[in-house]
Structures are given as C-alpha cells and as structure tokens.
Amino acid sequence: MTAKATALREQGVDIVTLSQGEPDFDTPEAVQKAGVAAILEGKTRYTPVAGVKPLREAIREKLSRDNGLGYDIDQITVGCGAKQVVFNALFASLDAGDEVIIPTPCWVSYPDMVRLAGGEPVLVPCPEESGFKLKPEDLEATITPRTKWLMLNSPNNPTGTVYSKADLAGLAEVLRRHPEVHVLSDDIYEKLVYDMPFATMAEAAPDLIDRVLTVNGVSKSSAMTGWRLGYGAGPKDLIKAMNTIEGQTSSHTSSISQYAAIEAIGGNQDYIAEFVSAFRKRRDLVLEQINLAEGLSCRVPDGAFYVFVSCAGVIGKVTATGKVIESDMDFAMYLLEQFGVAVVPGSGFMASPYIRISYAASEDELKRACGRILAACTALS
C-alpha cells in the first residue's frame, strides 16, 4: 500500500497517508541532544553486543520503576529495534517444526519471523466480539507438545486492544499447566494507553518470570523509530543465546542511538503525556467520523495509535465504475485509487474484512481523510 501510495503521489495525485506505523512527532529535544553529544564525545565505536552498560542500567531501572520487574543487567539485551529483539529470540530458540501461538489480528512480521526461524506460526483468531483478545480456553485448546512460545502484544497493533492484568492472569492460569511454553510479551506500545492501565505478563504472573521475554523499545514511546533501538529482558540463557545471534549479524545497534536512548528511558518523559493527549483527541475524532460511514464500524481501542475498522458492510457493494468490493484489499485499493486515502487492509494482519487506520497524522489530515472515506462509502451501491 505504501509503495502504491508513493507511486501515485509521485504522479502528482493528492494522497492522505494513514498507513504509517510511527508517531508523527519529532524525537524530543533532550534525546536529540544526547545523540549529538554522543557523536561529539566520540562515542562512535563498537559497543558490547548486549548494549552499553549505562543503557542496560537505565533499562533495568525502567523495568523496576514502571513494571515492578527485577532483572539483573545480564538479563537485558539491546537490539536494532524491538523487531530485531523478537527475531533474535525466535531464531535463538526455535527448532524446526516448533510451534508459536500468535493471536490474530497480529503485527504483520510475527508469522514470517517464525517461519524464517524454522518454526510454525499457529494463528488463533480473536474475534471483535471478544475485544480481539485471546481467551484462556482458546489458548488451552491450541497448546501442543510442540508449542514453544505464546506471543502477546498489548497494546496491540493493529487493533489497539489492551490486555488488563486480569486478562493476563487468566492466560497465566493456563500457562502454569504447560511449563514448557514461553511467553514473548511485546510491550512496544506500553506508553500509549488511554483509558486503562498498562499491564505486562511478567508483572501479572511474577511466578512465570523465568519463562517470559519482555520486549520493549523507544520507537513509539519517544518517537524514535529511525534510531532503531529496542530491548528485551528475560532468562539469562535465552538472553545469552540472543546475544550470540546478534553478535554474528548486526553486532549491536548504533552507539549513538544507545546513548540517546539512555536519555529517552531514564530522563524526563513529560512529553509522553502530550503524545497521549494528542493521540486520544485524534482517536476520538476518527472514531466519530468513521462510525458515521455507511458499512463501516469500529470499537473504541484503548491503546496504540490505530483504529481497526470492520468493513463487512461494504463487501459485496459496487463502485461507481462498476467494480464489486470483494475483500478488504479491494476496499483499501478503492480508497487509495479513487479517493486518495492510504490505509492497510486487515488481511495483512491476518484478519478480514477490516482496514487499519493509523491516526498518527495531523488533525487536518485526519479530517480530510475521514471526509474522503465517508464520501467513498456513500458512493457505493
């Protein structure tokens, strides 16, 4: 969608892009300055694979302060974004045919990463009626002797769903009966929650901490997607194996990013409240408009910066040019080609028929895009 949107824009077509997976804010000034200082101070050489010690120290303190989790420094590793940390964990742990349970809708990268590491993604549909959340009974029914990981992502991309502490405790009950199953908790959207507190598995079920890899990073919370810095905290053996993989691939993420991240993670974070307040306003604006559109509906997401919109009501309808909308991909293409709005079809997140709208865009852009989406729905017959 992004490639197609870019191609249309290059032809001079006016496109509003709501397919982005990153905040539209600049990296906070203090963090920028920390990065510049690192360059000027010559902190530009190779670092330890797991990340420089002051950064891991800042992460250790963050996990204790924000999440009540106690980790040693050698239980923490830093990579080129949460993405590399997830990849390292799967690559370090999966044998051919091992199964990884992935509740869907899910982030596009999970199933492919599992396959690249030789494992088998086992997708568990979590319908909108259950708030897009994995139910304990569905987890129980999906676990087999080959299950190695359960991947959880809250707040979720693409649905914005947030698991409460009680939700996680329910899943933990099942996990206690299956000691061979590990949990990868992708907390990358932790700071972007609106109406409920954030919870993570190792905190909700402290007795399981030795089976949990907690993954997080600075991309979304500190508007640092391009700096490529994420981290993981978990059992020593796993972290050691992940470091071995990283040592033979990227070696480590940029030294400059690491020093900037010390400020992002350990410094003043007042800007997060501003991000959250701006995102909440935009979320409400988009929801109000989208729920007016014929054939579309959307529940209120509790976190992240996405709304996951059901487009079941437009499937089977016909465009002004006579084309039948047969799938969410058709609908997304229709929005892009005929109304100049780029969104992502739900099929990319293993859930149809939906579209994901990112509200990490200015209010003006969001208003313009919503107006176009409404017009697009009205034009269908």
User: Which listed residue (160, 217, 301, 340) binds ligand PLP by CB under 6 A?
Assistant: 217
Closest contact distance (angstroms) between CB of 226 and ligand PLP is 9
The yes or no reply on residue 82 touching ligand PLP (CB under 6 A) is yes
Is 353 near ligand PLP (CB under 6 A)? no
Contact 193, 165 (CB under 8 A): no
Residue 157 beta carbon to ligand PLP: minimum distance, rounded to whole angstroms: 4
Directed axis angle between helix 2-10 and helix 328-339, to 10°?
20
Q: Are 253 and 79 a contacting pair, CB within 8 Å?
A: yes
Cβ neighbours of residue 302 under 8 Å, at least 6 residues apart? 155, 160, 161, 162, 193, 194, 195, 196
Using the contact rule CB under 6 A, the part of the chain among 78-86, 192-200, 242-250, 268-276 near ligand PLP is 78-86
> Is residue 191 within the footprint of ligand PLP (CB under 6 A)?
no
The answer to whether 83 contacts ligand PLP (rule: CB under 6 A) is yes
What span, in angstroms and rounded, lies between the C-alpha atoms of 75 and 148?
20
Stretch touching ligand PLP by CB under 6 A, among 76-84, 160-168, 195-203, 267-275:
76-84
What is the footprint of ligand PLP within residues 286-345 (CB under 6 A)? none
Other beta carbons less than 10 A from residue 39's beta carbon: 13
Beta strands in the chain (DSSP E): 16-17, 76-79, 99-104, 120-125, 147-153, 182-186, 212-217, 230-233, 306-310, 341-342, 344-345, 354-358
CB nearer to ligand PLP: pick between 192 and 376: 192
Which window, 62-70, 80-88, 286-294, 328-336, contacts ligand PLP (CB under 6 A)?
Answer: 80-88
In this structure, the number of other CB atoms found within 10 A of the CB of residue 250 comes to 15
- Tokens standing for 9? 């824009």
Which is nearest to 300 in space by CA: 286, 313, 311, 320? Answer: 286
Taking residues 12 to 41 in sequence order and writing x for each that binds ligand PLP by CB under 6 A, - otherwise, the string is ---------x--------------------
Neighbours of 61 (CB within 10 A): 12
The residue (of 112 and 288) whose beta carbon lies closer to ligand PLP is 112
User: What is the size of the binding site for ligand PLP (CB under 6 A)?
Assistant: 13
Q: How far is the CB of 97 from ligand PLP (least distance, A)?
A: 25
Nearest to 249 by CA among 77, 111, 88: 88
The answer to whether residue 51 forms part of the interface with ligand PLP (CB under 6 A) is: no
Site for ligand PLP in 149-178 (CB under 6 A): 153, 157
CB of 305 to ligand PLP, least distance (A): 10
Residue closest to ligand PLP (Cβ): 81
Among 230, 295, 301, 340, the residue binding ligand PLP under the rule CB under 6 A is 230
Residues that bind ligand PLP (CB under 6 A): 21, 81-83, 107, 153, 157, 186, 188, 217, 219, 225, 230
